A and B are shown apart, each in its own frame.
Chain A
Amino acid sequence: MPSKEQVLRLLSQGRDYEEIAGILGVPAGQAYLIATGIPADGGDTVTRGRPGVLPSRSQRLVNPREINPTGRGDVHRWVRRRAWGDPQMQAAADAGEKR
């Protein structure tokens, strides 16, 4: 098992946890736990003033691919079709611009 000093030394060299994981042969989240004493999945809310602690999003070190889309092109196209397909809406907008 790698030691805390090993992980912190690699961090101080500017490597991130994914690289350290590859070097030491342990999962990235385990390297994080070794270095900081805090689980990477965020399951333990503790004070963050320790060497090696990431400001946030440490859960990405242990989670698989994350799904959280915030916009869909097909919806944007649908919205435009709805708006453009409303003659009264178009006429009202034109009249408003002329005022």
Chain B
Amino acid sequence: MNPPAGIGSWPVLRQLTGPDRLGRAAAVKSRGSASLEARTATADRVVKSICPYCAVGCAQNVYVRDEKVVHVEGDPDSPVSRGRLCPKGAATLQFTTGSGRMHKVLYRAPYAADWQELDLGTAMDMVADRIIATRRETWEWEVDGKRTARTMGIASLGGATLDNEENYLIKKLLTGLGVVQIENQARVCHSSTVVGLGTSFGRGGATTFMQDLQHSDCIIIEGSNFAEAHPVGFQWVMEAKARGATVIHVDPRFTRTSALADLHVPIRAGTDVAFLGGIINHVLANDLYFREFVVNYTNAATIVGEDFRDTEDLDGLFSGFDPDNRGYDTDTWQYEGMTVVAASGKRDEEYDRRTRHGSSISSAGRGEMHGSGGAALEGTPRRDETMEDPRCVLQILKRHYARYTPEMVERICGIPRELFAEVCRHLVENSGPERTAEFVYAVGWTQHSDGSQFIRAACVLQLLLGNMGRPGGGIQALRGHASIQGSSDIPTLFNLLPGYIPMPHAHAHETLGDFLRADATHKGFWAEMNSYMVSLLKAWWGPAARPDNDFCFDHLPRLTGSHSTYDTVMAQLEGTCKGYLLLGENPAVGSANARMQRFGMANLDWLVVRDFSLIESATWWKDGPEIRTGELRTADIATEVFFLPAAAHTEKSGSFTNTNRMLQWHHAAVEPDGDARSDLWFMYHLGRIIRERLAGSTDPMDAAVLDLTWDYPVEGSVAEPVAEAVLAEINGWDADGTPLSKYTQLKGDGSTACGCWIYCGVYADGVNQAARRKPAGEQNWIAAEWAWAWPDNRRLLYNRASARPDGRPWSERKKLVWWDEEKGEWTGYDVPDFERTKRPDYRPPEDATGVEALSGIDPFIMQADGKGWLYAPAGVIDGPMPTHYEPQDSPVPNPLYGRQRNPARMVYPHEHNRYNPSGDEPGASVYPYVITTYRLTEHFTAGGMSRNTPYLAELQPEPFCEVSPELAAERGLEHGGWATIVTARNAVEARVLVTQRMAPLRADGQVVHQIGLPFHWGPNGLSAGDAANELSSIALDPNSHIQEVKAFSADIRPGRRPRGPALPALVAEYRRRAGVTERTGTEV
């Protein structure tokens, strides 16, 4: 209602004459206020979308008026987010429409001092020409007589923030071009998850989903600041708490999560295996495990070969360690009388035995093939159902953890015995038929030189307690980017093909049949690998893929070892990798040893950066840290740099896979402005241009890219590829052109095509299942009709284990899936993760293979033996059971074994990557404190999506370090003042935040001070500062090739860091004092 004009508009007159006699409402409403209209009310349309930040996958409504996005808010229909958004999601409007974004292509010529503008078409042609030229110049047909058919001259990095369809085209095109160095944030974030969960259960993704947290009786959050990094998902922890659950937070710092927990357990960063091992010991020593669950659903009763030796026998080593190769021969780890294909490390001897062909180069990164499908087994294991045999897994486990006592936990982790006992009590009391407990973790676990084993430890515990596959139980892996699960599934990773099929390694005379014989298990669903692989090859190479050419299997380039992003950096420094594509990733801030990343890029011929703004990885040549120190000179840097602006999620359609394996579609609300384009557009048109350039070539090296199916429809004024067509290819179809509904429809004879077998079903019936939006209010908590989850829209994995061996629920309170004898099928609230009509009392004949070999009590259907693995005879390169080792850089000696660090970890000796001395090594006292890095709610990973957004930059304006009052007193640090933090790699400065939330811990008789350091900052943007990753080193988990950035040692001193050449001089002086050499920290 508009107030009247003139004197009648005066508030006092309106108050006296109108209905608002108290003058609190209509009487005092101004004309300005009255003319305001809600942006939502005046919009033309509202488009359904998904937040592009973390992996909770909050649904968004995007409002459009006059072809401009005018508002973004949460979608209340979402069963996951219920309409809520965190500060980042709430800032989406500013992020996507504000001034922080670039819309023009920029080009830096070799040796140039500055950017120049370039038109998009010319830029695309130039990039295509660089790729063609570099590829030709660096093409390699073979290595040591083994066919490789690839180029090591080109690499790409990104993108966990991209759509599945974009990742699919990246992998497809670059693989067709012979590029193997394809990586993304999943490598540096949750690759350990794929190995840890995959080898334990058969699939490497979170076993449960966000809403199911409400059913938990006890939630342990460890290696995660859940409330901070996944704030909207945390509402489900609060739901559980409101229903009486106990919430425990185990973390070096007292954080936002701790503030809402019932119990905070301060732990020394990097000692979680000791802590979890202590709980395992408590459970086993006191017979507190869920016996019926364990004996039926795990490999506890399986007998291990008599040659196996434990770390208790060999002071921190398992049998089979070869110090020259820094790895294990896993023969002695096997089950008695069985062969298991070693998924990583020394696979080739195994390959020779299985295929009887010639030997080849070492393999690497194979642990992640267990992202969907456990290790292959040959034979039938022997079991002792009493679990008393000293060589059965349960007894081996007991012996392995016998010294992980409460006293040892206190000594290693700094956790008082009483507090440890309390955690054990809550966990055990809330596990069993009537109650379940859940573990929630994130990169506080994954980012260690033995990160895969951190997760394995939780898997062992949850299996022993019988919490797997049950409501309120399981393991919630909190991944951190909008589609990082997708970029692992599809994937843009060097060692995998879509659906966790391993990339082939170089072997002499290897055919598709050899490849399948070497890798496919003969039992379980992974026995169908032939169907999954052939269908993928048909999707990629279409009519060219035929039986007579092994379905173009030879079009796949071959691996010869590790080609992870960190190996790529080494290759850049050596000069063998000449071209680099960065697709929504910022390694100059976000990858370990940021300085080394920049030195690597300074050695490139060309670099393509696609992002929203000028991130540090695009500008290091101009004003990066090494320019300021004088170690690099702009005029000496030959690297040609292309910056191509990227489209936002509101400007493109596609699917994100959230942390719970759920694919959610987001629709384009508007077209992008200026030269901004989606990565779907970029990859498709890049491929089109390259194929046009190479058309008619008879050179065999061009066959793979020319044979690719590359005919996607395009639409709109910018010729954007139709993302739904890519999704349809990912889903797959049969010879009639009917979209497939289930991966069990896939065939190995070429009559089906499917770009990613675990996603088969997402386009069932020609309906984009990922776009389904049936409101939460119309469904139960599982919300099966909102979007679509792999596999087969099952939301809670291994749910067969939610029922007893006879098929009845363990309890009425925790029923989820059960056997209906009358109907002869499994039924319940979720899609059964089991063959629907397989009876619980089915026992396979001895010669059964494939799915028939799984019994009615084998809930882990992707494992060759159908069991959850307490002990992993294969799949993890550094041990069948998790073992405590100290981080790569640690001021504390390992009190459990004579072995300080993970002997199988990967180290990269280099002048830019020196390690700190550790434990009681000489010089360790020069770096006496422990750094742990972490996120803040208001920023996002390496800052490219938050530091240029004013709302977010304002909320967290500059980097800081958190220290205890005791440490501040010890080092003379002032709250609000500056501090300089130094490692053997580099030094950074940060504001000091003195807080009691950082409690000093006592570890092995010494006080250990920990320093907290958020990792979002870099020198660019509205909110700028030094990057935490200047301090970290490259030391990797050998299974996942993930770096250790959650725990490393450093010194801290008051004051700002030096500028110019004085900065590297300070770092060098520290190294001299500590006696750092090229050998420091590299011993096995």
Interface residues of A (CB under 8 A from B): 27, 41-43, 45, 48, 55-57, 59, 62-72, 74-76, 78-90, 92-93, 95-96
B771 proximal to A (CB < 8 A): yes
B68 proximal to A (CB < 8 A): no
Q: Are A81 and B737 within 8 A (Cβ)? A: yes
Across the interface, which residues of A come within 8 angstroms of B711, CB to CB? 82
Q: Are B724 and A75 within 8 A (Cβ)? A: yes
Which of B768-791 touch A at CB < 8 Å? 768-769, 771-773, 775-778
Shortest beta-carbon distance, A97 to chain B, in Å? Answer: 9
B43 proximal to A (CB < 8 A): yes
The 0/1 profile, CB within 8 Å of A marked 1, for residues 745-775 of chain B is 0010111110000000000001111011101
Which stretch, B319-327, B538-546, B841-849, touches the partner chain A? B538-546
A41 and B84 alpha carbons, distance in the complex (Å): 12
Q: Are A70 and B767 within 8 A (Cβ)? A: yes
With A75-B728, A83-B733: A43-B750 Cβ-Cβ less than 8 Å: no
Q: Are A42 and B76 within 8 A (Cβ)? A: yes
With A41-B76, A67-B46, A84-B737: A48-B777 Cβ-Cβ less than 8 Å: yes
Across the interface, which residues of B come within 8 angstroms of A42, CB to CB? 75-77, 83
Q: Are A45 and B76 within 8 A (Cβ)? A: yes
Across the interface, which residues of B come within 8 angstroms of A80, CB to CB? 736-737
Q: Are A59 and B76 within 8 A (Cβ)? A: yes
With A56-B775, A66-B45, A70-B771: A78-B725 Cβ-Cβ less than 8 Å: yes
With A41-B76, A56-B776, A64-B44: A83-B737 Cβ-Cβ less than 8 Å: yes
Q: Are B77 and A56 within 8 A (Cβ)? A: yes
Q: Are B736 and A83 within 8 A (Cβ)? A: yes
Shortest beta-carbon distance, B40 to chain A, in Å? Answer: 6
Q: Are A83 and B734 within 8 A (Cβ)? A: yes
Q: Give the one of B75, B543, B711, B734 with max A CB within 10 A.
A: B543
Q: Are B734 and A64 within 8 A (Cβ)? A: no
Across the interface, which residues of B come within 8 angstroms of A64, CB to CB? 40-41, 43-46, 63
Q: Are B77 and A88 within 8 A (Cβ)? A: no
Nearest chain-A residue to B538 (Cβ)? A89
Q: Are A55 and B737 within 8 A (Cβ)? A: no
How many chain B residues have a CB neighbour from A under 8 Å?
57
Contact residue among B722, B725, B777 (Cβ-Cβ distance under 8 Å from A56):
B777
Q: Give the one of B546, B776, B778 with max A CB within 10 A.
A: B546
A78 and B750 alpha carbons, distance in the complex (Å): 19
Q: Give the one of B733, B749, B751, B767 with max A CB within 10 A.
A: B751
With A93-B751, A96-B751: A59-B77 Cβ-Cβ less than 8 Å: yes
Across the interface, which residues of B come within 8 angstroms of A88, CB to CB? 543, 545-547, 750
Q: Are B778 and A55 within 8 A (Cβ)? A: yes
24 of the cross-chain contacts (CB-CB < 8 Å) are A42-B77, A45-B76, A45-B82, A48-B777, A55-B778, A56-B775, A56-B776, A57-B775, A63-B46, A65-B45, A66-B45, A68-B47, A70-B767, A71-B767, A72-B724, A75-B766, A78-B713, A82-B711, A83-B734, A86-B753, A88-B545, A89-B735, A89-B751, A93-B736
Nearest chain-B residue to A76 (Cβ)? B766
Q: Give the one of B43, B82, B737 with max A CB within 10 A.
A: B737
B991 proximal to A (CB < 8 A): no
A88 and B77 alpha carbons, distance in the complex (Å): 45
Across the interface, which residues of A come within 8 angstroms of B728, CB to CB? 75, 78-79
The 0/1 profile, CB within 8 Å of A marked 1, for residues 918-946 of chain B is 00000000000000000000000000000
Shortest beta-carbon distance, A87 to chain B, in Å? Answer: 6
Contact residue among B543, B749, B767, B769 (Cβ-Cβ distance under 8 Å from A95):
B749
Across the interface, which residues of A come within 8 angstroms of B736, CB to CB? 80, 83, 93
B709 proximal to A (CB < 8 A): yes
Shortest beta-carbon distance, B90 to chain A, in Å? Answer: 12
B739 proximal to A (CB < 8 A): yes
A96 and B342 alpha carbons, distance in the complex (Å): 35
Across the interface, which residues of A come within 8 angstroms of B41, CB to CB? 27, 62, 64
A7 and B719 alpha carbons, distance in the complex (Å): 50
Q: Are A65 and B735 within 8 A (Cβ)? A: no
Q: Are A93 and B43 within 8 A (Cβ)? A: no
Contact residue among B83, B713, B735, B773 (Cβ-Cβ distance under 8 Å from A68):
B773
Extra pairs beyond A64-B40, A83-B737, A87-B543 (10, CB < 8 Å): A56-B777, A63-B61, A66-B45, A67-B47, A68-B773, A78-B722, A79-B725, A80-B736, A83-B735, A88-B547
A34 and B849 alpha carbons, distance in the complex (Å): 65
Shortest beta-carbon distance, B553 to chain A, in Å? Answer: 14
A27 and B42 alpha carbons, distance in the complex (Å): 12
B667 proximal to A (CB < 8 A): yes
B282 proximal to A (CB < 8 A): no
Across the interface, which residues of A come within 8 angstroms of B747, CB to CB? 92, 96
Nearest chain-B residue to A58 (Cβ)? B76
Across the interface, which residues of A come within 8 angstroms of B752, CB to CB? 89
A88 and B722 alpha carbons, distance in the complex (Å): 26
Contact residue among A63, A65, A70, A90 (Cβ-Cβ distance under 8 Å from B40):
A63
Across the interface, which residues of B come within 8 angstroms of A82, CB to CB? 542, 709, 711, 729, 733, 737, 753
Shortest beta-carbon distance, A25 to chain B, in Å? Answer: 11
Nearest chain-A residue to B747 (Cβ)? A96
Contact residue among B76, B667, B735, B777 (Cβ-Cβ distance under 8 Å from A69):
B667
B73 proximal to A (CB < 8 A): yes
Q: Are A86 and B45 within 8 A (Cβ)? A: no
B48 proximal to A (CB < 8 A): yes
Nearest chain-A residue to B712 (Cβ)? A78
The 0/1 profile, CB within 8 Å of A marked 1, for residues 517-542 of chain B is 00000000000000000000010001
Which of B45-72 touch A at CB < 8 Å? 45-48, 61, 63
Q: Are A89 and B713 within 8 A (Cβ)? A: no
Q: Are B737 and A75 within 8 A (Cβ)? A: no
Q: Are B542 and A75 within 8 A (Cβ)? A: no
A92 and B531 alpha carbons, distance in the complex (Å): 13
Shortest beta-carbon distance, B91 to chain A, in Å? Answer: 17
Q: Give the one of B45, B48, B76, B546 with max A CB within 10 A.
A: B76
